[in-house]
Amino acid sequence: MKVACIQMDMMFGNPDENFKKASMLVTQAAKEGAEIIVLPETWNVGFFPRENLAELADRNGMITKEVFGFLAHQLDVNIVAGSVANLKEDGIYNTSYVFNRRGECVAEYDKTHLFSPMEEDKYFRKGSHVTTFNLDCNIRCGVIICYDVRFPELIRTMSIKGLDMLFVVSQWPLIRSEHLAALTKARAIENQCFVVCCNSAGKAGETVYGGNSSVHDPWGKVISHADGNREQIIFADCDIKELKGIRESINVFADRRPELYDVN
């Protein structure tokens, strides 16, 4: 399965231009043979305009669904459309949408852990559900958004039900790039799954985003990595057949002791 991460440098507070650029980059990745194409966090507006966020947000994901549903079907690819600032009836959410090759929206996830140091929790509402889905030949996938990766309980909740590939879509700052590398590697090893991390590039205000998008295999080995924090597309071939042998050689799920765990 050939996966592409679009390490996009979006225009802050300019969704029209960002939709045009994202569409162009998705098309480019598809032409280079990608089967699953991933975008970063809140690429439609950047992270994140406070004064007019509601005006800039996608309403119920309508534009995202229309644009990327069409592209997924037209290009015959799966698209993990990063996340978008999304205006729903009860407030603004940081929402990820996933589309299969037929252009159907097969998953919707609202970010559950909001980054309080940048006051995300004051402008967005918290999501309330875990999201898993299947792509192509029953590849079991999950998606999380940026800060979520610091909460292993969330990913383990997915993985104990079976998880082949985890998508991490983010706008992670350059200053903490080492954290992102360590956390994504750990999530791959402990959950024995491929971890596909698509981070943003560029700058918003005083924040420089870290790029360094990567794909880890279930051993934690980096099989693809971006060259720094410039805008680029990286590709990785993920052999799902490897999972069975890895899980049989070190069967952490069979050896779990859930009766001893108390994480509340």
Q: Is 178 a catalytic residue?
A: no
Query: Is 211 in contact with 226 (CB distance < 8 Å)?
Result: yes
pLDDT digits (tens, 9 = 90+) for 61-95: 999 999 999 999 999 999 999 999 999 999 999 99
pLDDT digits (tens, 9 = 90+) for 96-113: 999 999 999 999 999 999
Determine which one of 105, 146, 193, 197 is catalytic. 146
Asked if pLDDT for residue 51 goes beyond 90, the answer is yes
Q: Where are the domains of the chain?
A: 2-260
Determine which one of 21, 35, 105, 111 is catalytic. 111
Determine which one of 21, 35, 41, 65 is catalytic. 41
Q: Is 146 a catalytic residue?
A: yes
Q: Is 111 a catalytic residue?
A: yes
Average pLDDT of the chain, as a whole number: 97
Asked if pLDDT for residue 138 goes beyond 80, the answer is yes
Asked if pLDDT for residue 239 goes beyond 90, the answer is yes
pLDDT value of position 137: 82
Asked if pLDDT for residue 264 goes beyond 80, the answer is no
pTM of the full predicted structure? 0.98
- What separation, in Å, do the N-terminal and C-terminal C-alpha atoms of the chain show? 37
Distance from C-alpha of 8 to C-alpha of 14, rounded to nearest angstrom: 14
CATH 3.60.110.10, domain 2-260, yes or no: yes
pLDDT value of position 206: 87
pLDDT digits (tens, 9 = 90+) for 180-191: 999 999 999 999
pLDDT value of position 205: 82
Strands 222-225 and 207-208: unpaired
pLDDT band per the 50, 70, 90 thresholds, residue 23: very high
**CA angle, 42 then 156 then 216, to 5°:** 65
Helix, strand, coil percentages in the chain from 3-state DSSP, rounded to 5: 30, 30, 40
pLDDT band per the 50, 70, 90 thresholds, residue 5: very high
